[in-house]
Amino acid sequence: MMSNTLLFYGVSFICVGHLFLLIETCNYPSDLQSAVWEDSQKGSLTYTTNQMTGYTYSSYSSGSSIWNCFLIDGDYVVSKATGTINLFSAQYDVYICQKFTKITSFSYSYYLESDVQSNANNDRLNVFPTGNSVTVSQACAKTMDIPTEEFHVLVKNSNIADVKQWFPTPLLGKFEYTKVTAAGVSSCGSGSVWDDCTNRTTMSINMTQCSSVVAFSQGVTYCVTYITKGSTYYVVVVNPGIADGTTYFRFACLAVSQSGSTVTVVEKSGSCGAGQNTSLAGTGGAKYTMTPYETCPFTTDSPSEPSSDIGLIIGIVVGLLVLLIIGAVVGYCIYKKKKNQIYDREKKENANYLQGSRPPLYSGISS
Ligand SMILES: *[C@@H]1O[C@H](CO)[C@@H](O)[C@H](O)[C@H]1NC(C)=O
Ligand SMILES: *[C@@H]1O[C@H](CO)[C@@H](O)[C@H](O)[C@H]1NC(C)=O
Ligand SMILES: *[C@@H]1O[C@H](CO)[C@@H](O)[C@H](O)[C@H]1NC(C)=O
């Protein structure tokens, strides 16, 4: 009777425990929640605490744009699409795995940690038979490395003006530029000014002499982030103005390289693309040849932390303390040495005494 009761409670406990596991929820990183974000690849995404809408994929006759937070492990965020893919009359669940890097509270960059799926319009995602339990390493599995330049950014729609970062050194200047589109149309030229110097976070372009717009913008964009691969910089800019998706886009990726004082830029709308380079513009893109007539002084690859007075004061205080401590130690050592010399002279008959009482030279380090 007693053991039956215990067994009952034991089983109940296990069941309740299991229930808790089942209803365990996954929430998106708190920065992302309850807001609209602009994605450099997929456009506007709406995040709630545990759902993301707007990230459209399609495969065969299936597809979805609604995803549920599935699991989070460190920087890895795995989402599971609502609905399944029907393949050879079996059902599959679809997962994306994003490896996030925070830039600001309003901007993130990420890599999609999966292989390219030719059956899903070359999206990076993973599928598993419905009902299978899926771990992070499975959802984020890939057989080939992802090209460094193939990253994406998310910018919070309400805070586009708050994400500005410094442009990389090669772009810090006022340039005269010419533009050649992938289709071979040449324009802009002398008198056309590309200015990343007046404000090192803001690209300000006079394109009155161009036959098409620059960086898919109305002439002003902000630096969101950049990475380097070899000697090429991949800079993502966000257009705070109109983005109609045909002439103007919310994001552009600028591949940038420098040779002597000439800077070459190849633009692409949206995210940076695998294989994007500064030799040749891809379809819809353009190549710029830029000659600086003014470079920014104090160029650097990263925004400098504003050195505050408090930092300076702390530095001075710490420096003085260190000097005081060194002084005290040196003073003590001299005193000790003097004292020992007197002591030695007085106690010559006890030559071994001092040696025996001296602490080991490397105390604490076992030999
Ligand atoms: C843009 O360039 C044109 C021609 O070089 C010049 O006339 C115009 O004043 C410039 N506009 C601005 C806003 O600097
Ligand atoms: C440069 O950008 C910062 C940050 O948006 C802004 O506060 C500042 O006024 C800008 N400076 C100029 C010269 O446009
Ligand atoms: C550079 O980019 C162009 C356009 O995308 C591509 O056709 C070309 O193969 C690329 N070159 C290299 C060396 O990757």
Instruction: Compute the distance from residue 291 Cα to the ligand 1 centre, in Å.
Output: 17
For ligand 2, whether the C-beta of 198 sits within 6 Å is: yes
Task: Give the end of a domain, one of 295, 320, 350.
Answer: 295
Judge whether residue 313 has pLDDT over 60: no
In whole angstroms, give the CA distance from residue 216 to residue 213: 6
CA-nearest of 113, 141, 111, 118 to 128 is 141
Residue 257 Cβ < 6 Å to ligand 2: no
Q: Please tell me the total count of domains within the chain.
A: 2
Mean pLDDT (whole number) for 62-75: 97
| pLDDT top residue among 178 and 7 | 178
* 162/34 Cα distance (integer angstroms): 18
Specify whether 50 is located in the same domain as 129. Answer: yes
Q: Are residues 142 and 175 in the same domain?
A: no
- Domain C-terminal end among 247, 277, 295: 295
Q: Are residues 98 and 186 in the same domain?
A: no
**Domain for residue 116, yes or no?**
yes
Q: Are 148 and 278 in the same domain?
A: no
Q: Please tell me whether residues 211 and 231 are part of one structural domain.
A: yes
* More confident site: 243 or 6: 243
Q: Is there a single domain that holds both residue 109 and residue 131?
A: yes
Say if residue 312's pLDDT is above 90.
no
Residue 94's pLDDT band, with cuts at 50, 70 and 90, is very high
In the predicted model, is pLDDT for residue 4 greater than 80? no
300 touches ligand 2 (CB under 6 Å): no
Residue 283 shares a structural domain with residue 250: yes
| Residue 306 CA to ligand 2 centre (angstroms) | 15
If asked whether residues 153 and 17 sit together in one domain, one would say yes
Q: Is residue 47 part of a domain?
A: yes
Residue at which a domain ends, from 101, 127, 158: 158
Q: Domain check: are 15 and 131 in the same one? A: yes
Ligand located closest to 268 CA: 3
344: in domain? no
Q: What's the pLDDT tens digit per position in 190-224?
A: 889 999 999 999 999 999 999 999 999 999 999 99
Report pLDDT for 296. 86
Print the domain residue range for 238. 169-295
Å from CA of 254 to ligand 3 middle: 14
- Contacts of 200 by beta carbon, 8 Å cutoff, 6+ apart: 166, 167, 172, 296, 303
pTM: 0.77
* Among 226, 228, 229, 256, CA closest to 238: 226
| Mean of all residue pLDDT scores within the chain | 84
Question: Is 274 among the domain residues?
Answer: yes
Residue 115 lies in a domain: yes
CATH code of the domain containing 203? 2.40.128
Which of 229, 269, 280, 283 to mutate for ligand 3's pocket (most ligand atoms within 8 Å of CB)?
280
59 part of a folded domain: yes
What sign for the dihedral angle of Cα 317, 323, 329, 331?
negative
Task: Quickly state the pLDDT bin for 260 (edges 50, 70, 90).
Answer: very high
Residue 360 lies in a domain: no
User: Region 235-257: what's the mean pLDDT?
Assistant: 98
Residue 321 lies in a domain: no
115 lies in the same domain as 183: no
Q: Same domain, yes or no, for 194 and 219?
A: yes
pLDDT at residue number 321: 65
Query: Where does ligand 3 bind, in terms of residues with CB under 6 Å?
Result: 275, 277, 279-280, 282
User: Do 215 and 190 share a domain, yes or no?
Assistant: yes
